[in-house]
């Protein structure tokens, strides 16, 4: 599989992927998805031979990198692409000097993040109508 993962400042493709995954598939409102934080975040985009297929953003919080909006289009799920995206981003974050990665995982996706070394902490909470739990790991 031909895969390119890179930081991007052009948000057209990441926002399209996020709209398809979070709003169309999961019913998240536009107001919840477009929260105004994108200008403060670092963005990554993964593309395969067919085009843009996955994205995530990172909100820098001092030594902590808060990974958010991890979205993979249906055609690329369960292919290892999401794991490849996360691993590369974590390597880049470590190289940038971040010490910890934090994220709010949808409870259905917790096993995915556990396989990447994240540990859950705190209670389950609602975010945009979807149960989440905080997870973190050292970088």
Q: Catalogue the long-range contacts made by 32-38 (C-beta closer than 8 Å, 24 or more residues apart).
A: 32/127, 32/128, 33/128, 37/68, 38/11
List pLDDT tens digits, range 72-119.
999 999 999 999 999 999 999 999 999 999 999 999 999 999 999 999
Please check whether residue 132 is in contact with residue 105, taking contact to mean a CB–CB distance below 8 angstroms: yes
**pLDDT average, residue stretch 61-67:** 98
Quickly count: other Cβ atoms within 10 Å of residue 54's Cβ.
27
pLDDT, tens digit, 9 for 90 and up, residues 9-51: 999 999 999 999 999 999 999 989 999 999 999 999 999 999 9
The residues, any chain, with a CB within 8 Å of residue 74's CB and separated by 6 or more, are: 25
Q: ∠ CA 21-65-139 to the nearest 5 degrees?
A: 110
pLDDT for the residue 35: 93
Q: What is the pLDDT of residues 3-16, one digit of tens each?
A: 899 999 999 999 99
Residue 86 tokens, joined: 């996360």
Q: How far is CA 129 from CA 16, 33, 40, 82, in A?
A: 21, 12, 24, 23
| 44 close to 55: Cβ distance less than 8 angstroms | yes
pLDDT at 61: 97
For residue 1, what pLDDT is reported? Answer: 58
Alpha carbon separation from 122 to 3, 47, 52, 107 (Å, rounded): 35, 34, 34, 12
pLDDT at 2 over 90: no
Give the integer Cα–Cα distance in Å for 18 and 14.
Answer: 6
Q: What is the mean pLDDT of the chain?
A: 96
The full set of domains in the chain, from first to last, is 3-138 (3.40.630.30)
């Amino acid at each position: 599989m031909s895969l390119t993962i890179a930081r991007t400042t052009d948000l057209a493709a990441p926002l399209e992927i996020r709209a398809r995954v979070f709003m169309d598939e999961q019913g998240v409102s536009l107001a919840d998805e477009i929260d105004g934080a994108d200008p403060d975040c670092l963005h990554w985009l993964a593309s395969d031979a067919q085009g843009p297929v996955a994205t995530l953003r990172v909100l820098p919080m001092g030594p902590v990198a808060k990974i958010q909006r991890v979205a993979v289009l249906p055609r690329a799920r369960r292919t290892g692409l999401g794991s490849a995206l996360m691993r590369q981003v974590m390597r880049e974050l470590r190289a940038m000097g971040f010490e910890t990665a934090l994220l709010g995982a949808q409870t259905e996706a917790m096993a995915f993040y556990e396989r990447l070394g994240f540990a859950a902490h705190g209670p389950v909470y609602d975010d945009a109508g979807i149960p989440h739990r905080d997870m973190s790991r050292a970088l």
